[in-house]
Structure 1
Amino acid sequence: MKSNIEELRKKYIHNPPEGMTSMDIRNMSEDDLLDMDYFLNEDNLFDDEAGVEGFYIF
């Protein structure tokens, strides 16, 4: 697992997300790095929210 985290760190150091620098990535904890990767790559995080297209309970 450590090698996967280091691969992620290298990926984001070479191409940091908008608003971050490579130094920010270097200083992130492993948990923070994994969380950031999850949220950057998760599709439709809020798809399961109430009020799905036209179905409402009043």
Structure 2
Amino acid sequence: MEDKQLVAELKKKYIENPPEGMTPELVKNMSDSDLLDMSYFLSEGDYDDEYDDEGFFIF
């Protein structure tokens, strides 16, 4: 997936359902880099099953 396409999908997702403390207008005006960073940090906990307590990948 291209970065522009990913950014467009993330922007649409977060405009429709903004994170707590944000408004759709704030999301709309975010830079691509800020949007990608926000998405990374918001989804960081979604990968807990892949990592053990030390943060290493378990094979």
Question: For the superposition of Structure 1 and Structure 2, which TM-score range results when normalised by the shorter chain?
Answer: 0.7 to 0.9
Gaps of 5+ in 2: 55-59
Structure 1 runs, 4 residues or longer, greater than 3 Å off: none
Percent identical residues: 59
Unaligned runs of 5+ in 1: 49-58
In the alignment, what sits opposite 2:11?
9
TM-score (norm 1): 0.73
- Larger of the two Rg values belongs to structure: 1
Say which structure is richer in helix. 2
Q: Which amino acid aligns with 2:28?
A: R
Instruction: Give the C-alpha shift of residue 33 in structure 1.
Output: 0.2
Paired residues in the alignment total: 47
Which secondary structure state, in structure 2, belongs to the residue aligned with residue 42 of structure 1? helix
Question: Structure 2-normalised TM-score?
Answer: 0.72
